[in-house]
């Protein structure tokens, strides 16, 4: 069994990790660290785990006898907590701290950007993974086939709506129920932090891409999920574009191409990304849906862990089913 630890055990991403791990056939939880709740029973924080993780408490310090640790402490905290981790322990970081190439080396650790559909072979050879952002995952899965075939020649225009869990568990004005309910708003227009990793990845695949990426994110009045709508110039037919997408994703089990329009409920509680392609005159439109907490965070982290340990990448993830009603 692979013995794992989690640092930052009380947040949304850690809660999803625990739910996935307790049903994973090859993983055993050894240590879950929480500075705010050391010694407290885990199911008192993640209350849906009552009856599934009885008697296990949050630790104050990380048990060093683990194979891999997941860092869920939030942005800007990973360098601090890595000082608690043995050099022999593999690391998957769910923050943004190591996603950029110029920030990917720390204490002799070289972090690989962990988007399996982008660089699965490199992930398999790595001991340190920077898990992608949720918006970045949804957007990059919409354009990877185009970049791979050097088909991104004009500006890319994107709008995307995310659920309130994308803001984390700490209460703020914009994720408070009375503000979020029956409401929607845009934010960080053309300035969202995930743009950096999106641009970096596209340029790694298609180094001659010199156009602009215009991204408008929205806060939605639902809890979880992301729907992204992207369009860019394309001279190819819809049929040809679809062939390119199907070819690219034929060996990637969590990405599917839909024949009909899609909605967020199709992917909630799954590690799937579903894409829907349209053609309007000389523009290709790509709609993408993911669960921001699973494919956009904890599920993708498990997928990366499976690859690192040479397991089937679907282990612990295929049993997840969406809930339509």
Please indicate, yes or no, whether residues 115 and 154 belong to a single structural domain of this protein: no
Residue 274 CA to residue 10 CA, distance in Å, equals: 29
From the list 20, 81, 85, 134, the catalytic residue is 134
Q: What tens digit of pLDDT does each residue of 191-200 get? A: 989 999 999 9
Which domain covers residue 86, as residue numbers? 2-132+295-308
Please indicate, yes or no, whether residues 149 and 288 belong to a single structural domain of this protein: yes
Residue 98 CA to residue 132 CA, distance in Å, equals: 10
Average pLDDT over residues 178-200: 90
316 in any annotated domain:
no
User: Predicted confidence band at 171 (pLDDT cuts at 50, 70, 90)?
Assistant: low
User: Predicted confidence band at 318 (pLDDT cuts at 50, 70, 90)?
Assistant: confident
Please indicate, yes or no, whether residues 273 and 202 belong to a single structural domain of this protein: yes
Say yes or no to pLDDT of 305 above 80.
yes
313 in any annotated domain:
no
Q: What integer best gives the mean pLDDT of the chain?
A: 93
Please indicate, yes or no, whether residues 89 and 165 belong to a single structural domain of this protein: no
47 in any annotated domain:
yes
| Residue whose tokens read 């950007």 | 113
Please indicate, yes or no, whether residues 143 and 106 belong to a single structural domain of this protein: no
CA distances from 272 to 30, 99, 176 (A): 28, 22, 28
257 in any annotated domain:
yes
pLDDT of residue 53: 85
Q: Catalytic residue at 72? A: no
321 in any annotated domain:
no
Please indicate, yes or no, whether residues 195 and 299 belong to a single structural domain of this protein: no
319 in any annotated domain:
no
Please indicate, yes or no, whether residues 13 and 115 belong to a single structural domain of this protein: yes
Please indicate, yes or no, whether residues 128 and 146 belong to a single structural domain of this protein: no
3-state secondary structure of 15: helix
30 in any annotated domain:
yes
Please indicate, yes or no, whether residues 302 and 219 belong to a single structural domain of this protein: no
Residue 118 zone, left/alpha/beta (φ > 0; ψ -120 to 50; rest) = alpha
> Are the CB atoms for 37 and 322 separated by under 8 Å?
no
Please indicate, yes or no, whether residues 54 and 123 belong to a single structural domain of this protein: yes
Please give the tally of structural domains in the chain.
2
Beta-bridge partner residues of 219: 162, 185
Report the CATH number that the domain containing residue 244 is assigned in CATH: 3.30.360.10
Say yes or no to pLDDT of 219 above 60.
yes
Average pLDDT over residues 290-315: 97
Average pLDDT over residues 299-319: 95
Please indicate, yes or no, whether residues 275 and 169 belong to a single structural domain of this protein: yes
Average pLDDT over residues 100-116: 95
DSSP letter (8 states) at residue 170: S
Say yes or no to pLDDT of 173 above 70.
no
Report the CATH number that the domain containing residue 33 is assigned in CATH: 3.40.50.720
317 in any annotated domain:
no
User: Predicted confidence band at 96 (pLDDT cuts at 50, 70, 90)?
Assistant: very high
Please indicate, yes or no, whether residues 151 and 204 belong to a single structural domain of this protein: yes
pLDDT of residue 169: 54
pLDDT of residue 268: 96
pLDDT of residue 320: 83
pLDDT of residue 241: 98
């Amino acid at each position: 069994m692979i013995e794992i630890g989690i640092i930052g055990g009380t947040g949304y991403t850690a809660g999803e990790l625990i739910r996935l791990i307790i049903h994973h056939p090859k993983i055993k939880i050894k240590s879950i660290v929480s500075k705010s709740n050391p010694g407290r029973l885990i199911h008192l924080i993640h209350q849906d785990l009552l009856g599934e993780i009885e008697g296990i408490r949050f630790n104050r310090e990380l048990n060093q006898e683990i194979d891999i640790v997941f860092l869920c402490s939030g942005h800007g905290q990973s360098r601090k907590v890595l000082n608690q981790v043995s050099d022999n322990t593999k690391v998957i970081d769910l923050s943004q701290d190591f996603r950029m190439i110029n920030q990917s080396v720390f204490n002799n650790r070289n972090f690989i950007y962990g988007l399996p559909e982008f660089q699965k072979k490199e992930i398999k050879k790595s001991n340190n993974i920077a898990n992608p952002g949720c918006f970045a995952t949804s957007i990059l899965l919409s354009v990877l086939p185009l970049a791979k075939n050097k088909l991104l020649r004009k500006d890319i225009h994107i709008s995307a709506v995310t659920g309130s869990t994308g803001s984390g568990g700490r209460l703020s004005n914009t994720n408070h129920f009375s503000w979020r309910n029956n409401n929607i708003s845009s934010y960080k227009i053309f300035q969202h932090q995930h743009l950096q990793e999106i641009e970096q990845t596209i340029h790694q695949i298609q180094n001659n891409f010199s156009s602009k990426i215009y991204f408008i994110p929205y806060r939605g009045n639902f809890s979880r999920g992301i729907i992204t709508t992207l369009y860019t110039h394309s001279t190819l037919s819809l049929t040809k574009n679809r062939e390119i997408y199907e070819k690219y994703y034929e060996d990637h089990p969590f990405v599917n191409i839909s024949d009909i329009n899609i909605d967020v409920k199709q992917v909630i509680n799954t590690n799937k990304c579903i894409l829907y392609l349209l053609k309007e005159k000389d523009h290709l439109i790509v709609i993408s849906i993911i669960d921001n907490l699973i494919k956009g965070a904890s599920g993708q982290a498990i997928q990366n862990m499976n690859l690192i340990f040479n397991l089937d990448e679907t282990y612990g993830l295929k049993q997840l089913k969406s809930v339509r009603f």
